[in-house]
């Protein structure tokens, strides 16, 4: 039996609804005190002896040929220790590497980290300096002389697809449904899902709605800017302290980009100040590593400014989306068609595929076609952002579903219930669903008092949207040892980005039947725990939690063996429950046994899992708005987010994920956008002008937990983090429609866009 089959066996006897001791409680997180006292060390807080400070020169142009770069004056400035350009980066392989949530061509990633030949967006890194102070490093940047030949920028996804568009990457050819094209293009790929007979499906429809939508690039908006500190030692050992969602991912990327063997690289993941998908790909780590070597093996710290973060790290795609759906009089969907064109930024790799996979996945559909296009524009290379590509796709499909409901005069939740997917139905991209909880989630939303509360006032409306997200499994590892006082030290490979130390400790405590305070979790670096993928794809509590579960079983087994040794009986005779080992007349608590066996032989175990039984998640959001028709401002009055989470390990942090995801989706829906001038300069690269929701913009967000256990996890866990960002744009568009009678087809639905839409119907 191979490892994967073994895990599948584990999945088969998965959870019915069970009684738990630790799971479902709300303990204080183990890293809590450090985080409320300012003691927790984040990436920018490290300060190795002899530290140098770095700064990065960035392109003032959106698209230009680099004629020359002269760094001599900068190198001569007192205090400057090293200057690097693309000439210092090794030539990278033209091959695709799997970064978990996204796949990246290494050569393109190398060009993104330091521009080679051309700059492709405003803010594109071109050179980096290390100096004895940050201020000197910044002064040195001004002394680097660059000659540019400015080229016209391509700033809109549809313009970029035109036959006569300016070409961004000369060697790019379209991957057209698996076949390489033969002409220069900005379209990196075209993918399609198709099922049934679309024409026949639309012929059965009594109502058909077709709409076009456009959405703007938006940013993950983590509060901690990217940072990296690297020490390249004279013996060739590299140590990197960084804020990353995945230490092992950083290690692989440094190996691929700088051709340093993984055994020479140690990545220490510091506490991370938010990521949301944006801190999987490296930007600064290779630069800090090269600068450290070139400056005479001194540690170098690089931190981004907020403008750098917005201009040059992964936003998610702006998009153009067309959706056509038909339903018969009974409210049954008969056909659905979508066309999605996503801005990838300056290099291929938008999340159009996951957007296209998810767009109709809440609905049973026999006839469908979905086309997705990955398109280059002169804007920053996109990165993953929480349910990548899902929110803009769902904005389009949920708006069209709402219009079908209006035409059929059918309650929006009733309509969705009539079409809701359940176990055995097929997803858009083919696989059949395992046990899922969409119907339970819709029913919980319909039963919620919010859905029945009166909503009066002239410009008020209530909107509903539902959403799917597939979630991800992936490889995770954990190791642990029993201490002499009977407590357990746990080392796990998942960066804790939102309380996962607590979720891991709780799952281990549940297996070992000990209080959660007896488990001491530690996030390991790349030399102290086995390979673990990053904290992304809603996978950590699911997959790393499973590794911890397997670890717990092994520790329990070894403890039984040691008890048997002590009692001179067979291990099979020993049983364990609620912290006590028993065999016949023998009885010993775990704590007593731990003391008894503290004989110099450590009691340790480790586990690695690669589960592929992640549980798809569904969410239904209800929102009430009040729209000011004079200003176009949308005020939220009430917000309810209902979600099937499988099993809530730590309900407070599950609620937090739901509330935080909803808040990001609300920002995406109402305010956030990348604004460019005609030359491709980003005009709003600050938190003042890139307007994320504040405490004053939001009401309390009622997070309603539905638990339909995932049969593919020992404790029934589904992913939680991603799906709540998906429904808000659709729910808000539908609420605005009911408030004003205006169908919004543009994100953000900012005051200006709402007013334009109002004026258009008045004309």
Partner 1 sequence: MSSKVLVRSHINGENIDFLVEPRQSLLEALRDVLGLTGSKEGCNNGNCGACNVILNGVLVNSCLVLAVEADGGKVITIEGIAGPDGLHPLQQAFLQEAALQCGICTPGFIVSAKALLDRNPNPTEDAVRHWLAGNLCRCTGYDKIVRAVLLAAAVMRDEASLDASDDLQAV
Q: Footprint of partner 1 on this chain (CB under 8 A)?
A: 25-29, 31-33, 35-42, 44-45, 47, 78-79, 135-136, 220-225, 271-276, 303, 305-306, 497-499, 515-517, 650, 652-653, 655-657, 659-664, 686-688, 692-696, 698, 700-701, 703
How does DSSP classify residue 363? Answer: B
Report the residue number, 245 or 289, with the smaller CB distance to partner 1: 245
Which residue's CB is nearer to partner 1, number 247 or number 663?
663
Name the nearest CA neighbour of 79 among 268, 344, 295. Answer: 295
CA distance 582 to 588: 7
**Least distance from C-beta 173 to partner 1, angstroms?**
38
Query: Are β-strands 179-180 and 333-345 bridged in parallel, bridged antiparallel, or unpaired?
Result: unpaired
Distance of CA 711 to CAs 503, 536, 542, 643, 646, Å? 19, 21, 12, 17, 9
Dihedral, CA atoms, 435, 475, 652, 516, nearest 10 degrees?
A: 110
Residue 34: phi and psi, rounded to 5, are -60, -30
d(CA 721, CA 498): 10
The one-character DSSP state at 541 is I
Please provide the DSSP assignment of 637-680 as one string: EEEEEEEE-SS-SSHHHHHHHHHHHHHHHHHHHHT----B-TT-
Neighbours of 677 (CB within 10 A): 12
User: If 0-12 CB within 10 Å is exposed, 13-18 middle and 19+ buried, where does residue 600 land?
Assistant: exposed
Q: Are strands 80-85 and 125-131 parallel, antiparallel or unpaired?
A: antiparallel
Q: What is the nearest approach in angstroms of partner 1 to the Cβ of residue 135?
A: 7
CB atoms within 10 A of CB 650: 24
Shortest approach of partner 1 to residue 27 CB, angstroms? 5
Residues in the chain: 763
Closer CB to partner 1, 307 or 410, in the complex: 307
Nearest to 90 by CA among 231, 233, 286: 286
List, edge to edge, every strand of the sheet that includes 319-327: 179-180, 175-176, 187-195, 368-376, 333-345, 319-327, 207-215, 746-747
What's the closest the beta carbon of residue 400 comes to partner 1, in angstroms? 27
Choice between 420 and 703, CB closer to partner 1:
703
Rank residues 40 and 610 by Cβ distance to partner 1 and give the closer one. Answer: 40
Q: Which is nearer to partner 1, 349 or 728 (CB)?
A: 728
Report H helices in 516-614.
545-567, 590-596
| Minimum distance of partner 1 from residue 501's CB (angstroms) | 11
- What is the Cα–Cα distance from 475 to 612, expressed in whole angstroms? 9
In the bound complex, what is the minimum distance in angstroms from residue 639's beta carbon to partner 1?
Answer: 9
Q: How far is the CB of 346 from partner 1 (least distance, A)?
A: 25
The least CB distance from residue 234 to partner 1, in Å, is 26
Rounded to whole angstroms, the Cα distance separating 669 from 731 reads: 9
Specify the residue, 46 or 610, whose C-beta has the smaller distance to partner 1.
Answer: 46
Please, which residue, 273 or 326, has the CB nearer to partner 1?
273
CA atoms within 13 A on the CB side of 423: 10
Backbone angles phi, psi at 128, to 5 degrees: -145, 150
Alpha-carbon distance 737 to 733, whole Å? 6
* Min separation Cβ 275 and partner 1, Å: 8
Cβ at position 310, least distance to partner 1 in Å: 10
Residue with tokens 């909107």: 463
Pairwise CA distance, residues 364 & 596, whole Å: 59
Q: What is the chain's alpha carbon radius of gyration, rounded to the nearest angstrom?
A: 27
> Shortest gap between Cβ of 47 and partner 1 (angstroms)?
7
Measured from the CB of residue 620, what is the shortest distance to partner 1 in angstroms?
A: 17
Nearest Cα to Cα of residue 143 among 129, 154, 133, 132: 129
Q: Measured between alpha carbons, how far is 333 from 359 in angstroms, rounded to an integer?
A: 14
Residue 157 Cβ, how far from partner 1 at the closest point, in Å? 26
Shortest spacing between CB 36 and partner 1, in angstroms: 4
- Cα 729 to chain centroid, rounded: 18
Query: What is the crossing angle of helices 412-419 and 390-408, to 10°?
Result: 110
Residue with smaller CB distance to partner 1, 53 or 320: 53
Q: Which is nearer to partner 1, 48 or 181 (CB)?
A: 48
3 state DSSP class of 464 = strand
User: Closer CB to partner 1, residue 42 or residue 433?
Assistant: 42
Q: Are 302 and 280 in contact (CB under 8 A)?
A: no
Q: Are 281 and 383 in contact (CB under 8 A)?
A: yes
**Minimal distance, residue 228 CB to partner 1, in Å:** 15
Nearer Cβ to partner 1, position 629 or 656?
656
Say how far apart CA 445 and CA 665 lie, in whole Å: 18
- The answer to whether the peptide bond before residue 252 is cis (omega within 30 degrees of 0) is no
Nearest to 109 by CA among 318, 292, 381, 389: 381
Helices (H) and strands (E) in the chain, counts: 21, 33
Smallest distance, Å, CB 191 to partner 1?
A: 31
| Shorter beta-carbon distance to partner 1: residue 32 or 434 | 32
Helix/strand/coil for 151: coil
CB closer to partner 1, 24 vs 434: 24
Nearer to partner 1, 50 or 515 (CB): 515
Q: Shortest distance, CB of residue 510 to partner 1, whole angstroms?
A: 14
Considering the complex, state which of residue 225 and residue 390 has its C-beta at the smaller distance from partner 1.
225
Contact 558, 547 (CB under 8 A): no
Nearer to partner 1, 450 or 558 (CB): 450
* 172 vs 504 by CB, closer to partner 1: 504
> At its nearest, how many Å lie between partner 1 and the CB of residue 23?
13
């Amino acid at each position: 039996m191979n490892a994967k089959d073994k895990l599948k066996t584990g999945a088969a006897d998965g959870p019915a609804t069970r009684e738990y001791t630790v799971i479902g409680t709300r303990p204080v997180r183990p890293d809590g005190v450090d985080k409320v006292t300012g003691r927790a060390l984040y990436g920018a807080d490290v300060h190795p002896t002899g530290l140098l400070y770095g700064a990065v020169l960035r392109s003032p142009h959106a698209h230009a040929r680099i004629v020359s770069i002269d760094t001599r004056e900068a190198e001569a400035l007192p205090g400057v220790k090293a200057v690097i350009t693309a000439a210092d980066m090794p030539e990278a392989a033209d091959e695709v590497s799997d970064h978990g949530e996204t796949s990246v061509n290494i050569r393109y990633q190398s060009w993104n980290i330091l521009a080679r030949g051309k700059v492709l967006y405003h803010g594109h890194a071109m050179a980096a300096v290390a100096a004895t102070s940050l201020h000197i490093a910044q002064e040195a940047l001004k002394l680097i002389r660059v000659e540019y030949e400015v080229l016209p920028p391509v700033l809109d996804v549809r313009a970029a697809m035109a036959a006569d568009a300016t070409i961004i990457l000369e060697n790019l050819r379209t991957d057209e449904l698996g076949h390489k094209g033969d002409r220069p293009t900005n379209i990196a790929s075209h993918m399609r899902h198709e099922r049934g007979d679309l024409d026949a499906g639309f012929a059965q429809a009594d109502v058909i709605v077709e709409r076009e939508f456009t959405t703007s690039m938006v940013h993950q908006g983590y509060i901690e800017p990217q940072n990296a500190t690297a020490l390249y030692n004279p013996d060739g050992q590299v140590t990197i302290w960084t804020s990353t969602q995945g230490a092992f991912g950083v290690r692989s990327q440094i190996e691929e980009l700088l051709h340093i063997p993984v055994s020479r690289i140690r990545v220490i993941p510091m506490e991370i100040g938010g990521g949301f998908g944006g801190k999987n790909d490296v930007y600064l780590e290779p630069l800090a590593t090269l600068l450290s070597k070139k400056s005479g093996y001194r540690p170098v710290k690089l931190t981004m400014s907020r403008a750098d973060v917005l201009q040059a790290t992964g936003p998610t795609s702006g998009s153009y989306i067309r959706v056509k759906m038909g339903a018969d009089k009974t409210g049954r969907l008969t056909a659905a068609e979508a066309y999605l064109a996503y801005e990838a930024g300056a290099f291929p790799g938008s999340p159009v595929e996951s957007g296209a996979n998810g767009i109709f996945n809440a609905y049973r559909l026999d006839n469908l076609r979905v086309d997705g296009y990955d398109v280059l524009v002169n804007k920053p290379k996109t990165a993953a952002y929480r349910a990548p590509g899902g929110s803009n796709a769902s904005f389009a499909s949920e708006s069209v579903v709402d219009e079908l409901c209006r035409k059929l005069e059918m309650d929006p939740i009733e309509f969705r219930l009539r079409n809701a997917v359940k176990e055995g139905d097929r997803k858009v991209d083919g696989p059949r669903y395992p046990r899922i909880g969409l119907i339970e989630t819709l029913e919980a939303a319909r039963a919620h008092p919010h859905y029945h509360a009166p909503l009066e006032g002239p410009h008020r409306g209530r909107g509903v949207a539902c959403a799917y997200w597939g979630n991800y499994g992936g490889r995770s590892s954990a190791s642990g040892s029993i201490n002499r006082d009977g407590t357990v030290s746990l080392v796990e490979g998942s960066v804790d980005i939102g309380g996962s130390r607590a979720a891991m400790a709780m799952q281990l405590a549940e297996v070992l039947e000990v209080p959660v305070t007896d488990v001491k979790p530690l996030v390991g670096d790349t030399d102290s725990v086995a390979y673990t993928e990053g904290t992304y794809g809603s996978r950590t509590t699911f997959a790393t939690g499973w590794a911890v579960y397997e670890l717990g079983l092994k520790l329990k087994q070894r403890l039984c063996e040691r008890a048997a040794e002590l009692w001179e009986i067979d291990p099979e005779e020993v049983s364990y429950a609620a912290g006590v080992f028993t065999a016949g007349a023998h009885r010993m608590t775990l704590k007593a046994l731990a003391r008894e066996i503290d004989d110099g032989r450590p009691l340790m175990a480790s586990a690695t899992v690669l589960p592929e039984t992640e549980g798809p998640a569904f969410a239904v959001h209800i929102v009430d708005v009040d729209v000011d028709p004079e200003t176009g401002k949308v005020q939220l009055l009430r917000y309810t987010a209902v979600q099937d989470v499988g099993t809530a390990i730590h309900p407070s942090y599950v609620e937090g994920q739901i509330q935080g995801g909803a808040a990001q989706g609300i920002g995406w829906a109402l305010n956030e956008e990348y604004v460019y001038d005609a030359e491709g300069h980003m005009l709003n690269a600050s938190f003042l002008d890139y307007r994320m929701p504040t405490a004053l913009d939001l009401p309390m967000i009622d997070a309603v937990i539905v638990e339909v256990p995932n049969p593919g996890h020992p404790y029934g866990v589904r992913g939680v983090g991603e799906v709540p960002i998906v429904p808000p744009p659709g729910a808000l568009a539908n609420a605005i429609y009911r408030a004003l009678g205006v169908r919004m087809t543009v994100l953000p639905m900012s005051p200006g866009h709402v007013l334009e839409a109002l004026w258009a119907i008045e004309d």
